[in-house]
Amino acid sequence: MAVEIGENMHEDNIGEQVSDELYERLTLIVDKGQEPLRIDKFILNRVVNTSRNKIQTAISNGMVLVNNLQIKSNYKVKPADSIIFYSDNDPETYEIIPEELPLNIVFEDDHVLVINKPAGMVVHPGAGNFSGTLINGVAWYLRQQQPDIDESKLPRFGMVHRIDKNTSGLIVLAKSELAAVKLARQFFEHTVQRKYTALVWGNFEETEGTITGHIGRHHRFRKLMDVFPDGDYGKEAITHYSVLEDLKYVSLIECRLETGRTHQIRVHMQHRGHPLFNDEVYGGDRVVKGTIFTKYKQFVDNCFDLCKRQALHAQTLGFIHPATEKEMLFESELAADMKAVIEKWRGYANHYSSDRS
C-alpha cells in the first residue's frame, strides 16, 4: 500500500495540532494484492489517531472518497483504489458544556454562523480552558434552536477553523452536516478568503511581498511554532502581505493567508524581523525598533497598555455558501484596542515628521 501525506500533513507531526484548519487529507493507494475489505477497517488499520466511529462518521458525511466518489460504509476496497480521507486533525477531545455567553453574530442562516470573536476569548475547550470559550457559547446557542442536535454529526458544534485566543475578528461555524463538510473542504483547499490587519515592529523596504517557509513546532519549546525555510520539517505556509501605513518604528499591514497554520502570521513576521506589536510569545512585547530615550520607552509602554495583546485582527472572511453556492464576504471593524494604539502611533509619526521638517 502506498501512502501519500497530503500537503496539510507531515510525517514528523502527524497527530500534533499545527494548523488552524481542523481537517487534514490523507491519500491511500490500495496495493495490487489487497483482498476485499470493508473500507472502515482498511482505514483503521493504516491511520493513526483515529477510531472506527470517526471513520464511519466521516464516510456518512462525505469525507471519504474512493476514486473521487463518495461511498457507503460497507464499500469494500479493491486493488489500485485511490482513497482520500479527510481526517479530524485535533486529537484532544473535551466535554463541551453549553454556557450562555455573549456572541457577536455577524450573519446566520440554517447552515452557517459567522461570529466576530473578541480578543481574550479561547475558541474551543482544551487543557486549562474548559469553560468560557466560544464553542461553549455556541453550544448553548445552538441547543436553544435545536434541542436534539446530534453533536456526533456536527463535531464541536460546527467548528471548522480557529483563531488565536488573543486575536480578534471573524470566524465561521457550520450549523449543518452539509456545511461542515463543504466548509472543511474549502479551508483545506485554501479557497477561503482570509485577510488580517496587524501592527508590526519595523519598516519594510517593499510595500508588498510574500513570506514562505514551513511552520512546525519549535524543537525545544513545544508550545511555540517556528519557521523551517528548507522545508524538511513542518508544513508549507504562505503569507502575502502589503503595507498599509508606515508609522515610523512600526507598520500597519494587511496579511492574506494562502494556508492556515497555527500562529502563521505571528511566526512568519517574527521570522522576517517584524514581530507583531505586543506579542509576548514571539518577542513583540518589548522595544524592538526605536530609540533608547526614556520618553520613547514610556510612549511604547503606554501603547502596550492600550493594546494588551498581539495587535492582530481577522478582518475579512470570504467563502462559498455550502447550500446556495453564492460567494459570501464579510468585513469586521478593527477592535477598539487596536484602533486606539494605531491612532497613538499615527500621532507619534506625525509629530516626528513635523519635528524633522
Tell me how far apart the alpha carbons of residues 196 and 311 are, in angstroms, rounded to a whole number.
10
Higher pLDDT, residue 229 or 348: 348
Tell me the average pLDDT of the chain: 87
Q: 3-class DSSP state for residue 64? A: strand
Whole-number percent of the chain with pLDDT over 70: 89
Q: Tell me what the mean pLDDT of segment 192-200 comes to.
A: 97
Residue 3 is predicted with a pLDDT of: 34
Tell me how far apart the alpha carbons of residues 64 and 315 are, in angstroms, rounded to a whole number.
33
Residue 150 has pLDDT above 90, yes or no: no
Residue 98 has pLDDT above 70, yes or no: yes
Q: 189, 161 in Cβ contact below 8 A?
A: no
Instruction: Please report the beta strands in 282-340, taking only residues with DSSP state E, as ranges in sequence order.
Output: 312-320, 327-331
Residue 4 is predicted with a pLDDT of: 35
Q: What is the DSSP string of 332-343?
A: -PPPHHHHHHHH
Q: Tell me what the mean pLDDT of segment 176-181 comes to.
A: 89
Least confident of 79-93, 141-155, 252-266: 79-93
Residue 90 is predicted with a pLDDT of: 58
Residue 5 has pLDDT above 50, yes or no: no
Of the pLDDT bands very low, low, confident and very high (cuts 50, 70, 90), residue 175 is very high
Q: 254, 195 in Cβ contact below 8 A?
A: yes
The contacts of residue 344 (CB under 8 Å, 6+ apart) are 299, 302, 303, 306
Q: Which residues are catalytic?
A: 164
Of the pLDDT bands very low, low, confident and very high (cuts 50, 70, 90), residue 49 is low
Domains (range + CATH), the chain: 2-88 (3.10.290.10), 105-177 (3.30.2350.10), 195-314+336-356 (3.30.2350.10)
Residue 19 is predicted with a pLDDT of: 66
For residue range 274-315, list pLDDT tens digits in order: 999 999 999 999 999 998 889 999 999 999 999 999 999 999
Least confident of 125-129, 137-141, 271-275: 125-129
Higher pLDDT, residue 4 or 317: 317
Residue 149 has pLDDT above 80, yes or no: yes
Tell me how far apart the alpha carbons of residues 82 and 326 are, in angstroms, rounded to a whole number.
31
Residue 152 is predicted with a pLDDT of: 73
Tell me how far apart the alpha carbons of residues 274 and 74 are, in angstroms, rounded to a whole number.
53
Of the pLDDT bands very low, low, confident and very high (cuts 50, 70, 90), residue 104 is very high
Q: Tell me what the mean pLDDT of segment 310-324 comes to.
A: 98
Q: Which three cell numbers stand for residue 261?
A: 497554520
- Hunting for cell 464579510 — which residue is that? 330
What type of residue sits at position 142? L
Residue 273 is predicted with a pLDDT of: 96
Q: 3-class DSSP state for residue 276? A: strand
b/e burial code for range 118-146 (CB count within 10 A of at least 16 → b) = bbebbbbbeeeeeeebbbbbbbbbbeeee
Q: What is the DSSP string of 48-63?
A: SS--HHHHHHHHHTT-
232 to 5, 162, 225, 226: CA distances (angstroms): 14, 26, 15, 13
21 to 85, 167, 277, 333: CA distances (angstroms): 15, 16, 25, 23
Residue 89 is predicted with a pLDDT of: 59
Residue 91 has pLDDT above 70, yes or no: no
* pTM assigned to the model: 0.81
In the chain, what is the straight-line distance between the N-terminal and C-terminal CA atoms, in Å? 71
Phi-psi region of 227 (alpha: psi -120 to 50; beta: other; left: phi over 0): beta
Q: 262, 22 in Cβ contact below 8 A?
A: no
